Every structure is written in structure tokens, then in C-alpha cells.
Structure 1
Amino acid sequence: MKRRTVLAGIAATLAPRALVAQTPGRAAPYRLGVLMGNLANDPVGQAYVASLLQGLRALGWQEGGNMRVEWRWTGGDAALFDRYAAELVAFGPDVLLAQASPSVVALRRKTNTIPVVFTMVTDPVGQGFVGNLAHPGGNVTGFSDFNALMAGKWLQMLTQVAPPVARVAVLYNPATAPYAGLMMDAIEDAAPSFAITARTAPCHDDAEIESVIAELAREHGGLLVLTDIFTIVHRDAILASAAQHRLPTVYFARSFTVAGGLMSYGVDYADLFLRSALYIDRILKGASPRDLPVQQPTKFELVINLRTAKAHGIDLSTTLLATADQVIE
């Protein structure tokens, strides 16, 4: 689904265009609290914010006008998730937006009544955020970012480099990716089909990232970087180490590839933020999160940085290049 199509769908919901904030008995502005996992100065996180605000504007909500927005940026700091969740709940919001699992966990500790819309969350059922996808059943709903079929695609991409990769390490931080077991199950289920051996590579800091990647380079293996606030915040360290060791690496988001990574396959996260505006709007107009089904990812993109491949001496198959949504040359 193209972004303009999503915006057209958003615009179609504006009939009539009167806002809830303008209804009798309710003083404007409405309040939205946003708990982000990115650093505040991260251009990628700012792009997510821009998409969210774009979606809200299409629905008639204006930050600083009929909507007041409180932003909190944690940079992946575990202590800040809890601190900022408390601040946002104290703000008295009508609805909360949570980026990634740690934000949801922190907000659920502080409230079980204020509606929470999440985005960039893997396995919301397994993590106990919702009862089931169709009927969340509580004060939390939102947009998931993982489909098990993605695991096979990641591994297939690593077999389409020359020479093909036979050993893969999967990088994530167990503290911020409690759902990694689900993703590893999908990866291990798919691995035999591609004659690949996959293992976990849990990391907690830049030093461990460098150690994992250096070892893989000696083994002539490949790296798969999972969706995780830790990997988002430590993006530059991962990219620098992979470049230094010329390691074939698949990332979960285009932002890594645009920043110099080899290739990525995953959800369009800016699109998830754009679509989140729809649920925020529906809740502000009276809908309950318990009745809004969790949305599964539907839009995926494969991005290849051919410039990086050439610089690292990595050959990519013509089939892989032909299936890419974008090739950076």
C-alpha cells in the first residue's frame, strides 16, 4: 500500500469533518502522549514523527491547535522508559502512543485504563499485551511488525551473495527483545531449506557487537540484525563494524541500508506510524481499544545498497537485485 493510498483512506474517514474535540461539553485540545524508543536527535525517529503528524493532520488534528502532544524520547535507556511512562500518564492523556515493546511494557505498568496504541511491536499476544489479534480485550491495541515468512526471506537473501553464507548469527539484545524467541523459532524452522545454520548472538553494548561481527568474519559467516530498540539505537556501531569486516548482513529496516548497510527486508515503519493516526483518531472519537483489532504488517520493502556491496567486494545475484524495491547505486 503506497503512502498516498493510506492518506486517501484517512481522508475518506473525514465525513463529516467535525472533530470530537469540537463537540459540546469537551474543551479542546485533546491530549496525546508519545513514548519513543529512538534518540530525540535520530533523523529516522524524526521521520516517524513526521509520518504520525502527517496522518493526524489528514484527520483534522493539529499539534498545538486542537491537539496537545507530549513527546518523550528514551534512546533505549531502560530507566527512562519507566520514568517517562509515569510522566506521560501524569500528563492526563486521552490516548498514548507507544513505539516498540519496552514502551508498551512501561506504560502498562502505569495504567490499565488510558488507551494505548502501539507500533513496531513483535508478538503482542506472546508478550501478553493483547488477548488475541482480532479482539485485544483491554486498553491496548496497535500495529505489529513481524510475520514469520520474513525469516525465510532474510535467510534466502544471504544465500544470494557470492560465496553463499552457510552460518548466520542473529543479533539482538535479550533485555529489549523478549520476543526474540518467536523470531528465532521462525528462523530455525526456515534455515534447513537454505542449508544454513543459525545461532543467536545476544549483545548488550558496542563491544559485544564488535566481538560478534569479528568472529563471524573469521568464520566467513553472515549476520542477521533483528528488529529491536537496542539495534536501532546502536545502528551506527553495527554498520561500522559490518563495514570494517566486510560482513554480509541483512537488516530489518531500510534505514540501515540507506545509512550504508548491505541490504534489508522489512516493514515500512514510517507507514506504521502514519496508519497509527487512524487508531488514535478512532479512539478520540469514542472507539475502545478492546474492539480495534491488532493490524498485521502488509507492506514490505527490500532495499539493496549496491555501492556498499561493491566497496566490500560482495557479489549479489541478479535475481536478488531484480526483486529489490530500491537499489542504491
Structure 2
Amino acid sequence: MLRRVLTVLILSGSFLLLPSEAQQTARISRVGFLAPQGRSLPLFDAFRQGLADLGYVDGQNIRIEARFAEGHYERFPEILSELAGLKVDVLAVTGAVTARAAKRLVTDIPIVFSVVVDPVVDKLVPTLEQPAGNLSGVTSFDPQQAAKQFDLLKQVVPGLKRVAILGDQGVTEALIDEAEAQARTLDLQPQRLRLAGPNPDLEGAFAAIKQQRADALLVLEEPVLGVHAKEIADLAAKDRLPTLFPPSRVAAGGLVSYGTSQTEAIRHMAVYVDKVLKGAKLGTLSVETVKRYELIVNLNTAREIGVTISPGVLRRADRVIQ
């Protein structure tokens, strides 16, 4: 009798060990994350929060391998090779320039993109409805976004006539062409400026802006500009030049920001990652468009450069930086 009891206890103990052993040997999914800017950008935190909302906790049931290019596009091949070597299950990338590099260099890993204005123009996908291949994600595409931004600048800067448009080597010609065309529809004279390299000549750019007597500056959402957002804001403040910055960078010293919510786009990127980890094929998932706009006003900058923001604009603002 005692022998039978001992045998049952031993067998029961061995079965009790099985779930623990299974947990120890269960593979944790790996997610690669690549941003062209620096770690200080709050978008990575939004991505982690989006995953957490879906039940993923970094270091527990998922491992996020995050990398940041700090505006050095030439590092993309090295970083993407490293992430591929880590055998990530899915790659999440932000920005069109990053997505284009990932598409070119990574063919056997699903790639989810976000903070991309027009993935069709950028040749990431053939159509939004049927992306095909190993890419899909979230776009902030609104063909009238530049016009809405210029209209806001006209409300903030009475008598606005000349506007400078600042981009870097990552922005497509089509995007700047469209911004210039929309400026002209509002009777504005656009001035195109494109910066080159991770250490661009900002002093030269602002000298050109001053020479052309621009009344305001539109800063496009591009990685190199993001890295140098504080320097751009400081130079603009020195010249008392009103600026419209991307939402994630207006706190660096921009006057206003108006555009589709980047935070919402990044958080929604986590939904695509979740679907891939559950077996979905990215090529069958249509690209989704973020439609919610954010208006941010930086009153610190307004006071510094002597601009009065109208009560109407302040009432519409989603956030006011005091």
C-alpha cells in the first residue's frame, strides 16, 4: 500500500513539473523596432504602450529589440542586418526612409511601417487595399494635409505671403512638389529647402530663408530634421520666425503643430505586430489610415518671438505648452 502511494506521489510530482518545464522552454517572440531618429523621441514609448494594451510585456512574453539610427541613414544596412541576425519574428519601422531601406534589404521578415505619409508614392506597396509582399502598416496620408497646415499658419501669422518648406534627403520630390502646389493654391509663395547628411548646414539654410524673406517655416516630418529640431527651433527664434513643426517635435521650440496623430499611428502599429505574431500574412492586411488630427500650440515660443495666438486657435488646440 505504501509503495502504491509513493508511486502515485512521484508520478504526480513529475506531471506537476511539466507545465513549469514547458514555460521554461517556450520561445518568446522577438520584435525588431527601428527608428531613424534618436531614443529620446516619445514614439517608441507609444509603440511599447500599444503592445502592452494588447497584453505584451517586454521581457516577459515578448522581447523588443529596439534600434535608433540617430539620423544616420548609412547605418540602416548594418542595423537591419543585426536585427535579421537576431531572428526577429516581425520588424516594426517608423518613417518612409526607414521603410524603403527595410523593403530593399529585408525580404524574409514581415515589416510593419508607420509615420509614412504616402506608402504608394514611396513605392512601399502597390495599393493601400492590397499591399502584397511582406509590408503593410499605418499611413497618415491626407492629400490636403499641407494645405491645412498652411491655412493654420495664415491664421497664426496675419499677412503671411512667403513660406519656407524645410525637408531633408529622405523626403520624396513628390511630397515637396505637392506641398508647394498646395501653398500656391492659398496664394502663398513657397521656398523649398532640402538639407543633406546627418550634420546639415542649418546656418546656411536659415541664411537662405532670411534672404528670401520668408514669413514662416514649415518643418516636414523627416528624421534628420527631427534629430536637429532644437537647433532649428533656436535658429528660428533668433530670427523671430514662426514655425510649424511635426507633433512629436513642437516641444523642442516650434510655435505650432498640426497634423495627423503620430502617437495614434505608432500605437496602432502594435495591432499589426500582434496579428503577425498570431499567424496573419502582412500582404493580406490592408494599410490603415490615421485620420485624427492634433493641434499643439507652444505659448513659450509665441512669447519669445512676439506672436499672439488668437483665442480661436487656442480653443481648438488639443494641447497648449505653457
1:316 to 302, 309, 312: 309
- Maintained 8 Å contact 1:159/1:194: no
Indicate the residue corresponding to 2:224 in structure 1.
230
Residues 59 and 158 from structure 1, CA distance in 2 versus in 1: closer, same or farther, beyond 3 angstroms? closer
- Maintained 8 Å contact 1:168/1:222: yes
Residues 239 and 282 from structure 1, CA distance in 2 versus in 1: closer, same or farther, beyond 3 angstroms? same
Indicate the residue corresponding to 2:33 in structure 1.
34
In the alignment, is residue 252 of structure 1 matched against residue 246 of structure 2?
yes
**Alpha-carbon displacement from aligned partner over 1:60-118 (angstroms, at most 9, x marks no partner):** 22211221221211111122111000111111111111111232222223322211001
Residue 158 of structure 1 aligns to a residue whose secondary structure is: helix
| Cα drift, residue 287 of structure 1 | 0.7
Q: Extract unaligned runs of 5+ from structure 1.
A: 1-22
**Whose Rg is larger?**
2
| Cα drift, residue 129 of structure 1 | 1.0
| Cα drift, residue 172 of structure 1 | 0.7
**Alpha-carbon displacement from aligned partner over 1:1-46 (angstroms, at most 9, x marks no partner):** xxxxxxxxxxxxxxxxxxxxxx99x942111111121223x2x2xx
Indicate the residue corresponding to 1:242 in structure 2.
236
Indicate the residue corresponding to 2:177 in structure 1.
185
d(CA) in 2 for partners of 1:136, 1:118: 12
Paired amino acid for 1:212: A
Residues 207 and 95 from structure 1, CA distance in 2 versus in 1: closer, same or farther, beyond 3 angstroms? closer
Larger mean Cα displacement after TM superposition, 278-287 or 59-68: 59-68
Indicate the residue corresponding to 1:81 in structure 2.
76
TM-score (norm 2): 0.86
In the alignment, is residue 328 of structure 1 matched against residue 321 of structure 2?
yes
Residue 311 of structure 1 aligns to a residue whose secondary structure is: helix
d(CA) in 1 for partners of 2:151, 2:210: 19
d(CA) in 2 for partners of 1:28, 1:189: 52
In the alignment, is residue 109 of structure 1 matched against residue 104 of structure 2?
yes
**Alpha-carbon displacement from aligned partner over 1:203-248 (angstroms, at most 9, x marks no partner):** 1266632222244345152111011111111111111111111101
Corresponding residue pairs, total: 298
TM-score (norm 1): 0.84
Larger mean Cα displacement after TM superposition, 309-318 or 293-302: 309-318
**Alpha-carbon displacement from aligned partner over 1:100-144 (angstroms, at most 9, x marks no partner):** 123222222332221100111122112221111011011000111
Paired amino acid for 2:231: A
Indicate the residue corresponding to 2:273 in structure 1.
280
Matches within 5 A, 1:117-132: 117-132=112-127
d(CA) in 2 for partners of 1:62, 1:319: 42
Paired amino acid for 1:144: T
Indicate the residue corresponding to 2:64 in structure 1.
69
In the alignment, is residue 151 of structure 1 matched against residue 146 of structure 2?
yes
- Maintained 8 Å contact 1:119/1:276: yes
In the alignment, is residue 49 of structure 1 matched against residue 44 of structure 2?
yes
In the alignment, is residue 208 of structure 1 matched against residue 207 of structure 2?
no
d(CA) in 1 for partners of 2:152, 2:95: 26
d(CA) in 2 for partners of 1:146, 1:252: 14
**Alpha-carbon displacement from aligned partner over 1:187-216 (angstroms, at most 9, x marks no partner):** 233223422111211112666322222443
Q: Extract unaligned runs of 5+ from structure 2.
A: 1-21
Residue 315 of structure 1 aligns to a residue whose secondary structure is: coil
d(CA) in 2 for partners of 1:90, 1:55: 25
Residues 153 and 173 from structure 1, CA distance in 2 versus in 1: closer, same or farther, beyond 3 angstroms? same
d(CA) in 2 for partners of 1:28, 1:167: 57
Indicate the residue corresponding to 2:188 in structure 1.
196
Paired amino acid for 1:105: R
- Maintained 8 Å contact 2:136/2:286: yes
Residue 134 of structure 1 aligns to a residue whose secondary structure is: coil
d(CA) in 1 for partners of 2:299, 2:64: 40
Amino-acid identity (%): 32
Indicate the residue corresponding to 1:3 in structure 2.
none
- Maintained 8 Å contact 1:34/1:97: yes
| Cα drift, residue 163 of structure 1 | 4.0
Residue 35 of structure 1 aligns to a residue whose secondary structure is: strand
Indicate the residue corresponding to 1:7 in structure 2.
none
